[in-house]
Structure 1
Amino acid sequence: MSAKLLKDYSLITIGIILVAISVEYFFVPNNLAAGGVTGLAIVINHYMPFLTTGVLVLVMNLILFVIAFIFIGGNFGAKTIYASFGLSFVLWFIEKVLNPIALSKDLIIASIFGTFLSAIGMAIIFNVNASTGGTDILAKILNKFFHSDIGKSLLMVDFIVTLLAAITFGLDIGLYALLCVILNGLAIDRVIEGFNICKEVTIMSSKNKEISEYIIHKLERGCTLLKGVGGYTGDETVVLYAVLGRTEFIKLREFIREIDPKAFITVGEVYEVLGEGFKEFDNI
């Protein structure tokens, strides 16, 4: 296994552990069926308490994978299969070995912290181009047979789960579950953006040659030199453009401070960078 694959599977493992903790210590004890297969498992567990959440998630994922394989093909990817069944195993392990209890019975605290942990875990998994199966598979099936958008299909599935939660556990808990679904979607996007944030830097300096060499040879990043004309002076100038990671930008800033304190620098944040040295198009 390559170093990148090992890193990806390690990150997926961390992600599913965080999701499992949110489910077993915040959602299940408070009957918060916050969408997806795990939410549906919480509802079913209420009627069939002899079946644990982990076992239900495993059985439903198996059924969904079989149905999806028959009707929409088997293009799931090894990472998604690992994440799906890995989550089921971790849920089962926590239930059988650790005997989890609610870390808080306050529904607001359980909703916020459960969603926070779940969003971080899911974001880590999504960021390495994997998913935990379940809801995604249901959405793809709805998309194929009813021609609905994937995003709308996901929302529809989660809404049905929270509706079942409201019928099973009462309207208050159902509304809290719906709140978790909404917050989870927003939080996942924000966390993924945080993982991928880079610094977009433009520099005007008399030491552009030294700065570009530092970026290329020391930071091992590319940069572009753009010809420009000063709006006030009318003189020709050169603008250096580069996209860097956060730690790389800090190193560059210190280097520029040493060699040209009068340099003019603008810095912006970009939330996704594709191409050489960053995320490859094949990994989208």
Structure 2
Amino acid sequence: MMDLVKDAFKKEKLLANFRFFVLLNLGLILTALGIVWFKTPNHFAFGGTSGLSVLLSALFPQFNVGFFMWVLNLILVVLGFVFLGISCMGWTVFSSFALSFYVSLCEAIWPMPHPFTDDKLLELIFAVLLPAIGAAIVFNIGASTGGTDIVALILTKHSSLNIGTALMVSDVLIIIGAAAIFGVSTGLYCILGLIGKSFVVDGVIENINQRKVCTVVTSNPEDIIDFILDDLHRSATVEDAQGAYTGKDLTVIITVLTRREAARLRNFLRTNDNHAFITIVNSSEIIGKGFRALN
């Protein structure tokens, strides 16, 4: 019996690791596509290693953006090993080199000497959207895209500097460099891109994790509980309650569902218990078994 439990645990862990690896690489590939297809040909330098690489490739056109990302990430990884130690770097090392690899691969397969369109704003939207979605996927699984995240880790450990401010200053300096090299218009687009990326990353992470916290108040709980357990394959918390106005004995059922499951529960109540009272609240921070791990 114990062997079966151990085998099941190992399979679950392998599946979780496989899912983590797939999502990590998916996020890095989307980020790389945004850099190669939209950032580089439009000279959008929002900050970070990709932004600095765009500037350097313009100053030294014999080298492409991928080359400079390899160089910058290699330097940052070495600094990370020196100041943080190997054990603290974790997946950051893989992410740094994997992103550089995907950028170089995209440049080799589909080089972009010119933008897709003449619409600068449309190009900016996709230059923000693809890397932001990619970064959101990576951040959501507890990893990072490497690069300036290593700088943040070093500053966190060895100084009292405000990390957000320090990274923002570096991004602003890169944007100023973009304005000086490519013109004020490009610099202003870069400012919009930097602002837009932060909103899109937060929005995507919230939508990925968004669940519905459903609270049902009913006098006939049995069928509802059976539906949640047997049809939705979810659990619930059940509490005894009393109506303040009627004084009747009631049952409160609290469960967390996906959007689709919440709609099914709502339709079930409409058909089978139209006197039930239900509240549905959005939440993107559901932590526990069946959702995000506690750690």
Contact 1:35 1:181 in 2 (8 A): yes
TM-score w.r.t. the length of structure 1 is 0.92
| 1:204 and 2:214 aligned | no
Match of 2:22 among 6, 10, 20: 10
> d(CA) in 2 for partners of 1:135 and 1:67?
11
Post-superposition, which runs of at least 4 consecutive aligned residues in structure 1 deviate over 3 A?
A: 142-146
Match in the other structure for 1:25: 37
Match in the other structure for 1:85: 97
User: What aligned pairs does 1:76-155 form with structure 2 within 5 A after superposition?
Assistant: 76-78=89-91, 80-100=92-112, 101-155=114-168
Match in the other structure for 1:274: 287
> d(CA) in 2 for partners of 1:258 and 1:235?
22
> d(CA) in 2 for partners of 1:222 and 1:97?
48
Contact 2:218 2:276 in 1 (8 A): yes
RMSD over aligned CA atoms reads 1.8
Contact 2:216 2:254 in 1 (8 A): yes
Contact 1:54 1:88 in 2 (8 A): yes
1:252 to partner: Cα distance: 2.4
| Deviates most, 52-61 or 250-259 | 250-259
Contact 2:219 2:249 in 1 (8 A): no
Contact 2:80 2:89 in 1 (8 A): no
Q: What do residues 129-164 of structure 1 show as CA deviations (whole Å, max 9, x unaligned)?
A: 111111211222333444123322322221222122
Match of 1:55 among 67, 74, 81: 67
| 1:193 and 2:185 aligned | no
Give ranges in structure 1 of 5+ residues lacking alignment.
Answer: none
| 1:248 and 2:261 aligned | yes
1:92 to partner: Cα distance: 0.6
The amino acid across from 1:222 in the alignment is S
Contact 1:198 1:244 in 2 (8 A): yes
Identity of aligned residues (%): 37
The amino acid across from 1:42 in the alignment is V
Residue aligned with 2:89, SS: coil
Contact 1:104 1:110 in 2 (8 A): yes
Residue aligned with 1:241, SS: strand
TM-score w.r.t. the length of structure 2 is 0.89
Match in the other structure for 2:277: 264
Residue aligned with 2:167, SS: helix
Match in the other structure for 1:65: 77
Give ranges in structure 2 of 5+ residues lacking alignment.
Answer: 1-12
